[in-house]
Amino acid sequence: MAKIKKKGTTGQAKNFITRTQAVRKLQISLPDFRRLCIYKGIYPREPRNKKKASKTSTPSTTFYYTKDIQYLLHEPILHKFRDHKALAKKIARSLGRGEVGDAARLEKTGRPRISLDHVIKERYPTFVDALRDLDDALSLLFLFANLPSTQTVPPKTIALCQRLCSEFQHYLIITHSLRKSFISIKGIYYQATIQGQDILWLVPHKFVQKVTGDVDFRIMGTFVDFYTTLLGFVNYRLYTSIGLVYPPKFNVNSDEKGGELDAFKLESSGIEAIASIEGQANGHVDSKQEAGQTNGHVGSEQEKGQEVEQSDAQRHADEIGRLIAADPNDDRDDQIMQDEAPTDIIDEFVVQGEGADVLDQPRQSDSEAGTLFAPYSFFLSRETPRQPLEFILRAFGCKRVSWDEVLGDGAFTHDEFDPSITHQVVDRPPVIQDESIQDETATEGDHMESDAVSKPARSGRMPGRTYIQPQWIWDCINQGKLLRADLYAPGATLPPHLSPWVKPTKNTYDPTVPLADQENSEEEEVEAEGLVDDDDDPAQVGLDEDMDSINDHGMDVAGAAESEDLSVDEEFGGFASDEAPDEGAAVEEDDDRTDYQRELEAEAAGLPYTIVGSAAAAASSSSKGGVAKKAARKRQEDEEELERRKIMMPKKKRKLYEKMAYSNKGKDEEARKLRGKRRRLEKV
């Protein structure tokens, strides 16, 4: 006789465990169980059959894997939770006895500290695994770095998040790892490439955040504790890989003055081999030279000496290169230039044919991305967002970023009229200038001779300087090249700011392509005949005039009215009289009869009717009706052919095709509406 199986010992009942059973098995409270699951990365699971997985008559709602809970039994953090519980009992006993001093001493010195170092090593066995999971960590830490301090969000947590985020930004600035950015309503998106891994995170705008009470900051604080430990490990590995000391020195006085990024002073660790290998592999500039200069400032004398030091081999190679370049008559120059010609030129994939797929273009090299703004000097006006602009400009090679003194410390210069500034970022309407102050036709020598011209009034502009709006910087880095500055001049209508991660696909609206290249044949015919109404969709044009396309038994109100009006006009010749009738009165009488006839036909068809009362409207409707009928007839034939093909398809494939057609129809409708909206704007 086979052994009788006991209920709840096999199958899903054995593989899953409820949350209540897990808390009882671990002998901890529910909040501690939540913290432990967040630290270890254990999440609820959904069984196939809740009724079979539950050991009670009422199916539970939250299940976990039994093996995961069994794994938590050997976690060292459990002992810290139990020590904290024992400490709470001691503090309660001391308060009950009236020993307030002992309770304060126990709370200050006896609190157990939870270390998450071993958890980071367990969850991320390799450094690449940590980089792949850095998206959510950066988004949450940048969010807490911008929150105001409250009872639920202590100031220490905010300061820690700010420090870790600034250290990560400094690494991106030195290695030029930032690739793309996009401004949205939620905030500013950034994407960086570190060791081949794309990291995307969101930074909120610099506004005063209002902390609401419907957010559980205890759970978010648990994630912050874990992510701060993770980012600390990542920053240490990134800094040491390029030969920098971690953590960098922090200047409190500069931070209090609003220096932010300038408050950190990076130092070289003296490991030249790692830094040189890293720079040669990624095409980066020497990290020591970058670390010694922060926004154009020169470092100490020791750092200058380190910059001057070079190996003999490197010095010898540089000397040979200078000798070869200095001899213009040597025949070997051409051969050397051909042999040493740059072979890392990026090839572009050209689309072959109309229906071919658009291939992703190769990415920009690190050296090109790091020198996009290197030759220029920028000045940020007071109304522009200083923090993101400074970070982006410095990450793309700009060494001289200036701003007004009220925006904080750390600028290259606070003088707005410094002649070395080439670009000024402005986000306000243009100011009418006085012609006597600035002369557009003056030469450069004339500007240097007169102080009134070289330093105009506060409301004027500096000659020879390019004034742009902030969007120009974002669009330049997303496209990997410098765009036309006149399109982003102050007061100009800016081009659309598009997401660099959304690639245009077939049959979708692309704002960068001219409207004529996106319209289909039907829309082109309608546009050529002038049938597009400002309030109607191009696909719906002619449906009111052509009722046959909507209902097979309906009436063509416009066509029937016109035909019957003509027949009435031809048959009715008026009453015979000795005097000739007035032509104007006859025309008005005919128009009244036409309107009355159309109103009766529209009422019989159950449609609203608006009296036009002019022959021009009738002629226009007749011309519209011809093209609309032709388009509707073509659509009807295509639908009939499609239905015939669908009949021959299997049921499974037919349902799949219907789902695809439904989604494609929605996309086409959305693209058609966007094209119609753009068409109306271009008409205005």
Q: What is the pLDDT of residues 35-93, one digit of tens each?
A: 999 999 999 998 888 888 887 767 778 899 999 999 999 889 998 988 888 998 999 99
3-class DSSP assignment, residue 151: coil
Q: Write out the two tokens for 559.
A: 């066509």
Could you give the angle at the alpha carbon of 230 between the alpha carbons of 228 and 234, nearest 5°? 115
Q: Which of 223, 213, 217 is nearest to 35 (CA)?
A: 223
Q: What percent of the chain is predicted at pLDDT more than 70?
A: 66
Q: Where are the beta strands (DSSP E) in 240-357?
A: 249-250, 264-265
Question: Residues 434-455: what's their mean pLDDT?
Answer: 44
pLDDT above 90 (res 476): yes
**CA torsion, points 465, 468, 472, 473, in degrees to nearest 10?**
60
The band of 355, judged by pLDDT with boundaries at 50, 70 and 90, is low
Phi, psi of 298 (to 5 degrees): -90, 145
- How does DSSP classify residue 646? H
Q: Which of 113, 145, 377 is nearest to 261 (CA)?
A: 145
Q: What are 194's strand-pairing partners?
A: 197
95 & 240 share domain: no
Single pTM value for the model: 0.68
**Do residues 60 and 54 touch, judged by C-beta distance below 8 A?**
yes
Q: Write out the two tokens for 248.
A: 């960098």
pLDDT above 90 (res 328): no
Q: Considering the domain boundaries, does residue 44 fall inside one?
A: yes
**Do residues 422 and 428 touch, judged by C-beta distance below 8 A?**
no
Residues in the chain: 684
221 & 261 share domain: yes
Give me the CATH number covering residue 399. 3.40.50.10190
pLDDT above 90 (res 670): no
Q: What is the pLDDT of residues 581-610, one digit of tens each?
A: 454 555 556 666 777 777 777 777 666 655
**Do residues 531 and 666 touch, judged by C-beta distance below 8 A?**
no
The pLDDT value given to residue 439? 47
634 & 657 share domain: no
3-class DSSP assignment, residue 409: coil
The pLDDT value given to residue 321? 43
Q: Write out the two tokens for 557.
A: 């109100």
HSE of 425 in the Cβ direction (CA atoms, 13 Å)?
A: 24
| Cis-peptide, bond into residue 47, ω within 30° of zero | no
Q: Considering the domain boundaries, does residue 443 fall inside one?
A: no
Q: Considering the domain boundaries, does residue 57 fall inside one?
A: yes
Q: Which domain holds residue 410?
A: 372-431+451-488
* Domain C-terminal end among 281, 303, 325: 303
The band of 134, judged by pLDDT with boundaries at 50, 70 and 90, is very high
Could you give the angle at the alpha carbon of 333 between the alpha carbons of 330 and 338, nearest 5°? 155
Q: Considering the domain boundaries, does residue 208 fall inside one?
A: yes
pLDDT above 90 (res 635): no
Which region among 333-337, 476-480, 654-658 has the lowest average model confidence (pLDDT)?
333-337
Which region among 222-236, 248-262, 474-488, 669-683 has the lowest average model confidence (pLDDT)?
669-683
pLDDT above 60 (res 459): no
Rounded Cα–Cα distance for residues 138 and 158 (Å): 14
Q: Considering the domain boundaries, does residue 445 fall inside one?
A: no
Question: Residues 413-427: what's their mean pLDDT?
Answer: 90
What are the CA-CA distances from residue 459 to residues 402, 429, 433, 448 (Å)? 19, 12, 7, 20
479 & 616 share domain: no
Burial of 627 from C-beta contacts in 10 A (0-12 / 13-18 / 19+): buried
Rounded Cα–Cα distance for residues 224 and 290 (Å): 31
Helices 30-40 and 77-97, axial angle in degrees (round to 10): 150
86 & 222 share domain: no
pLDDT above 60 (res 466): yes
Q: What is the pLDDT of residues 491-516, one digit of tens each?
A: 888 888 988 988 777 777 877 777 77
| Cis-peptide, bond into residue 247, ω within 30° of zero | yes
Q: Which of 349, 670, 348, 350 is nearest to 518 (CA)?
A: 670
The band of 396, judged by pLDDT with boundaries at 50, 70 and 90, is very high
Rounded Cα–Cα distance for residues 423 and 389 (Å): 13
Rounded Cα–Cα distance for residues 53 and 476 (Å): 56
20 & 92 share domain: no
Rounded Cα–Cα distance for residues 348 and 74 (Å): 55
Q: Which of 61, 37, 65, 41 is nearest to 51 (CA)?
A: 61
The pLDDT value given to residue 378? 94
The pLDDT value given to residue 496? 87
What are the CA-CA distances from residue 259 to residues 253, 292, 408, 586 (Å)? 9, 17, 6, 85
pLDDT above 70 (res 563): no
Q: Considering the domain boundaries, does residue 439 fall inside one?
A: no
From its phi and psi, is residue 27 left (phi > 0), alpha (psi between -120 and 50) or beta?
A: left
Q: Considering the domain boundaries, does residue 478 fall inside one?
A: yes
Q: How many CB atoms lie within 10 A of CB 134?
A: 23
pLDDT above 60 (res 347): no
Rounded Cα–Cα distance for residues 429 and 447 (Å): 25
Rounded Cα–Cα distance for residues 554 and 548 (Å): 6
127 & 186 share domain: yes
180 & 197 share domain: yes
125 & 236 share domain: yes
Residue 463 or residue 231, greater confidence: 231
Q: Which of 672, 639, 682 is nearest to 523 (CA)?
A: 672
The band of 235, judged by pLDDT with boundaries at 50, 70 and 90, is very high
Q: What is the pLDDT of residues 256-278, one digit of tens each?
A: 888 888 889 988 876 543 444 34
HSE of 525 in the Cβ direction (CA atoms, 13 Å)?
A: 16
- How does DSSP classify residue 263? G
Q: Which of 589, 588, 608 is nearest to 599 (CA)?
A: 608
pLDDT above 60 (res 565): no
Q: Considering the domain boundaries, does residue 324 fall inside one?
A: no
Q: How many CB atoms lie within 10 A of CB 605?
A: 15
pLDDT above 50 (res 571): no
HSE of 423 in the Cβ direction (CA atoms, 13 Å)?
A: 23
Phi, psi of 119 (to 5 degrees): -70, -40
What's the structural domain count of the chain?
A: 6
Q: What are 188's strand-pairing partners?
A: 183, 203
Mean predicted lDDT score pLDDT of the chain: 75
Residue 512 or residue 288, greater confidence: 512
Residue 231 or residue 530, greater confidence: 231
The pLDDT value given to residue 282? 42
562 & 517 share domain: no
464 & 520 share domain: no
Question: Residues 381-391: what's their mean pLDDT?
Answer: 93
The pLDDT value given to residue 224? 94
The pLDDT value given to residue 279? 44
* Domain C-terminal end among 56, 91, 109: 109
Phi, psi of 250 (to 5 degrees): -120, 125
Q: Beta strands 377-380 and 423-425: pairing type?
A: parallel
Residue whose token pair is 């990365």 = 41
pLDDT above 50 (res 283): no
423 & 525 share domain: no
The pLDDT value given to residue 162? 93
**Do residues 236 and 212 touch, judged by C-beta distance below 8 A?**
no
The band of 302, judged by pLDDT with boundaries at 50, 70 and 90, is very low
pLDDT above 60 (res 465): yes
pLDDT above 90 (res 199): yes
Q: What is the pLDDT of residues 91-103, one digit of tens each?
A: 999 999 888 888 8
3-class DSSP assignment, residue 218: helix
What are the CA-CA distances from residue 579 to residues 510, 572, 575, 576 (Å)? 67, 17, 11, 9
